[in-house]
């Protein structure tokens, strides 16, 4: 397959070449190679090198490179607003490693690193200096061309080792139209219940990645087709095939298409509101779908919040994101009935609320006057971005001087928000 190296961003190449000049074998690895081979633009880039995290940090300096993690230590390199993950080659831990077998910091060679990865299509390495793709498993390029998901090693053993790989395999099915090869498909089917043994934090993080990206509707379809929904999202499983579920998938598909077209942002809060709106409408009213909105009553905000939690149970999104989703849903009745225009335009969630309204308009009313009434920009009196999806704003306490200085432990730890790939 032809690899279009012009699709690799220049700063990524520069990082790799800088590590190579420092004497460390280094590659661009994983999903970015697969995406470029498929003539797609990579969503993000991962780099792997033989340098240890400390050596990587020494190359770039402490201001630009930060070591994170304990069980799996790697470096976050900060390039403007982007964070590039740089990992050290790993090998599968051996019994002789003793305590090391409890973590994932057993360093190895590039080939050993490739063989410990999950799927052949994710085990491709690219060297920009020689402009060649290295396929250590011998199946990665072929499987990318044929759209095949193949677990590296014994499929059942690797899925038992980390059941989250089930999710990632089916994400490839839903997002790219891949098909598991027979032994991988059989292992997925046999190991579905194991997903319930994974930590809620990891599964919640995977769910946030799924619903943020513009393929959520097809990934949910793949989860249903392979029987994962009862173990992962039981509410979706129970509702599958209902009018509300069909409408939900239509709304998500339209939202995702608009993200790919560049007209919508990949907002988690908007995705949550979009997925939950049909069930919220069913809860709040039983009237004809032609009616716009619903009647306000005391406690409606709690009902909306409770419905969102029910739809995605047993997993939880950050409170600020759920609050943002509730807020844009609360704006719908006044927007659909074209009332309280000045108040809505000043609302910090106006832009997402308008996007949610235009999605409904496409399927229910197709009213051009409705969309023309609400301008596609917020009032300059309010910041147009929804803070629910971005960096968490950290309020710093004013500095105190002299005898008023607080004790050393009186300040809370700063929270770094992010969504690193596992």
Q: Give the predicted TM-score (pTM) of the model.
A: 0.86
Check residues 418 and 240 and name the one with the higher pLDDT: 240
Q: Tell me, what's the pLDDT at 92?
A: 83
Q: Tell me, what's the pLDDT at 71?
A: 81
Which of 122-136, 166-180, 201-215, 379-393 is the least confident region?
A: 379-393
Cα distances (Å, whole numbers) of residue 280 to 197, 248, 272, 316, 366: 30, 11, 12, 17, 21
Check residues 200 and 421 and name the one with the higher pLDDT: 200
Q: What is the pLDDT of residues 10-45, one digit of tens each?
A: 999 999 999 999 999 999 999 999 999 999 989 889
Unique residue bearing structure tokens 């899925």: 159
pLDDT band at 409 (very low <50, low <70, confident <90, very high): very low
Q: Average pLDDT for residues 115-120, to the nearest whole number?
A: 96
Q: What is the chain's mean pLDDT, rounded?
A: 88
Where does 177-299 have alpha helices with state H?
A: 182-191, 200-212, 216-225, 229-232, 234-239, 243-261, 268-284
> How far from each other are the two terminal CA atoms of the chain, in whole angstroms?
27
DSSP strand E in 89-131: where?
Answer: 124-127
Which of 52-61, 75-84, 292-301 is the least confident region?
A: 292-301
- Sign of the C-alpha dihedral, residues 25, 26, 31, 37? negative
Measured distance CA(333)–CA(212) in Å, rounded? 25
pLDDT band at 311 (very low <50, low <70, confident <90, very high): very high
Q: Tell me, what's the pLDDT at 93?
A: 74
Q: Are 231 and 196 in contact (CB under 8 A)?
A: yes
- pLDDT over 50 (residue 401): no
Measured distance CA(76)–CA(230) in Å, rounded? 36
Q: Tell me, what's the pLDDT at 104?
A: 66
Q: Tell me, what's the pLDDT at 333?
A: 93
- pLDDT over 80 (residue 319): yes
The residues annotated as belonging to the active site are: 44, 46, 118
Question: What radius of gyration do the chain's Cα atoms show?
Answer: 24
For strands 26-29 and 46-49, give the pairing.
antiparallel
Measured distance CA(52)–CA(89) in Å, rounded? 9
Q: What is the pLDDT of residues 350-374, one digit of tens each?
A: 999 999 999 999 999 999 999 999 9
Q: Tell me, what's the pLDDT at 1?
A: 79
Burial class from Cβ neighbours inside 10 Å (0-12, 13-18, 19+) for residue 127 reads middle
- pLDDT over 60 (residue 141): yes
Give the number of other Cβ atoms within 10 Å of residue 38's Cβ: 13
Check residues 138 and 378 and name the one with the higher pLDDT: 138
Q: Tell me, what's the pLDDT at 285?
A: 75
Looking at the chain, the whole-number percentage of residues with pLDDT higher than 90 is: 78
Unique residue bearing structure tokens 């790219």: 176
- pLDDT over 90 (residue 323): yes
**Region label for 287, one of left (φ > 0), alpha (ψ between -120 and 50) or beta (otherwise):** beta
**Region label for 299, one of left (φ > 0), alpha (ψ between -120 and 50) or beta (otherwise):** left
pLDDT band at 291 (very low <50, low <70, confident <90, very high): low
Measured distance CA(35)–CA(122) in Å, rounded? 10
**Region label for 366, one of left (φ > 0), alpha (ψ between -120 and 50) or beta (otherwise):** left
- Sign of the C-alpha dihedral, residues 384, 387, 391, 393? positive
- pLDDT over 80 (residue 337): yes
Cα distances (Å, whole numbers) of residue 258 to 121, 251, 355: 28, 11, 10
The CATH number of 1-146, from 3.30.460.10, 3.30.40.10, 3.20.20.110, 2.40.128.20, is 3.30.460.10
Unique residue bearing structure tokens 């090391």: 100
- pLDDT over 60 (residue 58): yes
- pLDDT over 80 (residue 168): yes
* In the chain, ranges of CATH 3.30.460.10 domains: 1-146
């Amino acid at each position: 397959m032809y690899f279009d190296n012009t699709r690799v961003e220049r700063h990524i190449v520069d990082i790799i070449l800088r590590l190579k000049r420092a004497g460390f074998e280094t590659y661009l690895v994983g999903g970015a190679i697969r995406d470029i081979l498929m003539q797609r633009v990579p969503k993000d880039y991962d780099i792997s090198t033989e340098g240890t995290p400390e050596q990587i940090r020494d190359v770039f300096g402490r201001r630009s490179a930060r070591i994170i993690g304990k069980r799996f230590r790697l470096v976050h390199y900060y390039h403007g607003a982007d964070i590039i993950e740089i990992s050290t080659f790993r090998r599968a831990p051996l019994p002789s490693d003793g305590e090391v077998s409890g973590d994932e910091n057993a360093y190895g060679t590039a080939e050993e690193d490739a063989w410990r990865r999950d799927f052949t299509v994710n085990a491709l390495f690219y060297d920009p200096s020689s402009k060649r793709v290295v396929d250590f498993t011998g199946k990665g390029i072929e499987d990318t061309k044929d759209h095949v998901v193949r677990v590296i090693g014994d499929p059942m053993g690797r899925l038992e080792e980390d059941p989250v790989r089930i999710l990632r395999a089916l994400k490839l099915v839903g997002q790219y139209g891949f098909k598991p090869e027979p032994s991988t498909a059989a292992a997925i089917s046999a190991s579905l219940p194991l997903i319930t043994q994974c930590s809620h934090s990891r599964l919640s993080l995977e769910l946030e990645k799924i619903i943020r990206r513009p393929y959520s509707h097809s990934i949910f379809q793949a989860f249903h087709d392979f029987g994962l929904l009862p173990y992962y999202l039981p509410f979706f499983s129970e509702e599958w095939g209902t009018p509300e579920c069909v409408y939900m998938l239509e709304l998500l598909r339209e939202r995702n298409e608009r993200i790919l077209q560049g007209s919508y942002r990949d907002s988690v809060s908007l995705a949550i509101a979009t997925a939950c709106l049909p069930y919220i409408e069913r809860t709040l009213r039983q009237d004809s779908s032609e009616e716009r909105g619903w009647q306000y009553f005391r406690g409606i905000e709690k009902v909306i919040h409770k419905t969102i939690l029910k739809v995605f149970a047993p997993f939880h999104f950050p409170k600020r994101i759920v609050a943002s989703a509730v807020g844009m849903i609360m704006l719908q009745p006044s927007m659909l009935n074209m009332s309280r225009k000045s108040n809505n335009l000043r609302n910090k969630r106006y832009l997402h609320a308008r996007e949610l309204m235009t999605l409904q308009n496409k399927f229910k009313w197709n009213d051009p006057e409705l969309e023309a009434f609400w301008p596609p920009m917020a009032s300059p009196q309010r910041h147009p971005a929804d803070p629910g999806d971005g960096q968490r704003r950290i309020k710093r306490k004013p500095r105190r001087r002299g005898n008023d200085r607080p004790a050393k432990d009186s300040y809370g730890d700063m929270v770094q928000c992010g969504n690193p790939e596992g």
